[in-house]
Amino acid sequence: MLNSDIAARRTDAISRGVGVTTQVYAERAENAELWDVEGRRYIDFAAGIAVVNTGHRHPKVIAAVKTQLDQFTHTCHQVVPYENYVTLAERLNKAVPGNFAKKTIFVTTGAEAVENAVKIARAATNRSAIIAFTGAFHGRTFMGMTLTGKVVPYKTGFGAMMPDVFHVPFPIEMHGQTMEDSLAVLDKLFKADVDPNRVAAFIIEPVQGEGGFYEVPRAFMTKLREIADKHGILLIADEVQTGFARTGKLFAMEHFGVVADITTMAKGLGGGFPIAAVTGRAEIMDAPGPGGLGGTYGGNPIGIAAGNAVLDVIEEEGLNERAESLGNRLKQRLHSLISEVPQIADIRGPGFMNAVEFNIPGTKAPNADFANAVRAKALDKGLILLTCGVYGNVIRFLSPITIQDNIFAEAMDILEDTLRECAKEA
């Protein structure tokens, strides 16, 4: 079987709206490696977009899922509940930052977690407006794409967005947007467009994902918390991509010294199995009435079993510390190449949520062509990378945190060779 044959069938069978980054069709995967249908091996620095932080088919996750499969696969928790759903909720209530009573609900996807966080915030505050940030990604459902701060490809062709959603520029100093600039826009928004007493919540990614792996300035997060408290606005932390050891902490908000009222999570929680969650202050989470939250597959037993196993693996294998070590090694390797690769404009990211941004040498103009050339050449050499950023000029690194040292070293050699070759060809 050939990748090209499947690609031709895919074109005929699947909507073009479902885009793909590669034409590599997976046959099997193990930890940080995968093999395609032609038998070629790749090192996976995408991890299903930060889903398999614990690696493809982690033995402990697979064992937990197999045990659950032998018991039952679905009852719908709202019809016949089950104990491990309660256990995982208890563990997340304890783990999510904040020294207050918390409660949790389980859903299936990150976008669904965001949708429910908005519902809960509106029910708790009796307000409707939501403020998000440019460059953000919060999902592809209607509320999710409305909150998302990027038009192409997420909003194009889908008509009017949901009402009562406002965007403030995300502070990125290297792009000329300071924290003070963003706060000034927020102040003007309160004066010109929306009464702060009508705002239910701010929603923010502690580190932007699709937007380019820009970390929220610590002072900005502190100020946002102060403004929220002043006006009775809730703070929602979207930890869908940042959660579960990716940034060197179980949750990225642990880096900021302030806490959110509501936290959304998905991706890494399931270790490859679909599960998402919303955790927040108990009184806020109890605002919707019975039946107002939930879903047929919400907290599916397979995903719940995987989630409990993932938390065990993170703790037992010290993945927070592992993420810090791997990220430091990656960033050091990239810094060593700056003199040879003049397209490198920035190297950043906490823990193992890292990125390199490329500009046209000698300018501040984004260099998306170079980023895509790096991605394509690395793929030819057997390393799967992803681009991101509003301008498409950022390479992000999302390898499983469980990657073996020798595989990581091999990936770094491929990356170094790729960057050097692309710089010479540019």
Write the DSSP assignment of 79-148 as a string of letters: TS--HHHHHHHHHHHHHSS-SS-EEEEEESSHHHHHHHHHHHHHHHHT--EEEEETT----SSHHHHHHS
CB 54 within 8 A of CB 268: yes
CB 108 within 8 A of CB 295: yes
Of 235, 20, 11, 229, the C-alpha closest to 117 is 235
Residues found in the chain:
426
Contacts of 417 (CB under 8 A, 6+ apart): 381
Catalytic residue among 102, 103, 249, 267: 267
Q: Give phi and psi for 408, each to the nearest 5.
A: -60, -45
Cα–Cα distances (Å) from 312 to 7, 47, 164, 399, 402, in that order, read 38, 19, 40, 19, 13
CB 236 within 8 A of CB 116: no
Active site residue 137: yes
Beta bridge partners of 263: 237, 279
Q: How far is CA 277 from the centre of its chain?
A: 13
Cα–Cα distances (Å) from 118 to 123, 132, 141, 252, 285, in that order, read 9, 11, 13, 20, 11
User: Strand 344-348's sheet: what is its strand order?
Assistant: 344-348, 354-358, 394-397, 386-388
Active site residue 267: yes
User: Strand 234-238's sheet: what is its strand order?
Assistant: 102-107, 276-281, 262-265, 234-238, 199-204, 129-133, 165-168
Please, how many CA atoms are within 13 Å of residue 274, restricted to the half-sphere of its CB?
10
The sign of the dihedral angle between the CA atoms of 411, 352, 94, 274 is negative
Active site residue 413: no
Write the DSSP assignment of 140-165 as a string of letters: SSHHHHHHSS--TTTTTTS-S--SSE
Catalytic residue among 45, 133, 137, 352: 137
Q: Torsion-angle region of residue 396: left (phi > 0), alpha (psi -120 to 50) or beta?
A: beta
Catalytic residue among 44, 238, 261, 346: 238
Q: Which residues are catalytic, by number? A: 137, 238, 267
